[in-house]
Structure 1
Amino acid sequence: MTQIVLATHNQHKVEELRRILAVQLPDVEVLAYDGPEPVENGATFADNALIKARAAAAHTGLPAIADDSGICVDVLGGAPGIFSARWAGPSKHPVENLELLLWQISDMADEHRAGHFTCVAAVALPDGTESHVTGVWPGRILHTPAGGGGFGYDPIFQPDGHEVSAAELPQQVKDAESHRAIAFGELVPVLVALLNA
């Protein structure tokens, strides 16, 4: 069985991506990454995803996949964007991030609350070969959090085509429709081609 390493220390992401990838890559074992966390000093989601994938590939000697993702609010010019995880400060506290974002757009009417989740998924091989793809999940920002599922900004994000927040959606729906599902779904054929090259 082929082994690849998932370049994240976020256990929520590990579990989510193992579920997503198990369906499409049944012969690939996705390993959690236990190496040093690189400094994510890129200016874009792609920059940061590639930084993480390169670091994990270099540390383990295995093909590595990584993602960088965040919520982007139209009225904030696409912010928090790459700063989503530390929007309220360096503690990276998810509730504080969510509350700050809600406060910043608290006066905005529904028609001005459009936003989307973006995920860039990247692969890096130990030989320096790399690639990345992007997944976008459009929707709007709710006025108050709803639901106990998911993590991060899920309780305040209502995806297009749904009447509930991402935190209220069944896990199988999120695994099929989310920004990560879209991005990693597009990354799978790229990854297969690279592994078979």
Structure 2
Amino acid sequence: MDPAIFLERVRKELEKYAPIPDDEWERTDRTAFTPVRYEKGEHFLRIGDVPDKMGFIWSGLFRIFCITEQGDERIMAFRGENRFLSAFSPFLESQPSWYGIQALEPSILLCFDLQQYQRLMAGHPCWCQISRKYVENLFIEKERRERDFLTENAETRYLNFLREYPDLEDRAPQYQVASYLGITPVALSRIRKALRNKNQIS
């Protein structure tokens, strides 16, 4: 795959947050962006690791998950094509990550070093704007998810999941979707059956 194709797609996604002047894009050290293949089950970040890189998903699917004190896995989020993967808070605090990021299918990432990210932030103001908007979107996503858990029932949370991740129903294992929703796989099966009976899902 031509690296220039990777980079233009990255730029297109970054410019959803703020425009990047052509001369600034040309000055960016694009050799720091490295295509990396991840096989199904391979970790982008393991629990306990201190993160040192970010990634842009060219193709594939990842889950962000944590482990409870009882040893149960909990799915925090899914990330698919044209999304960024990162562990900002552990990186900024130089602390081991309390969550992991794992490929759910064969995937290709465009990876770059978080130190490179910090150097960009110290340069042209467009990078600070992009970073701020990106973090704002993560905050909105987190707040929306918390609201769903506090105010919505499991059926509504599932319908919201289908709207948020319309292409993941057949890509993510059902037990992981159930974990994301905070219910058991059996409860998810019942919800799906009830919604099919009401013709709300296919």
* Interval of TM-score (by shorter of Structure 1 and Structure 2): under 0.3
| TM superposition score normalised by structure 1 | 0.27
Larger Rg: 2
| TM superposition score normalised by structure 2 | 0.27
Structure with more contact order per residue of length (Cα contacts < 8 Å, sep ≥ 6): 2
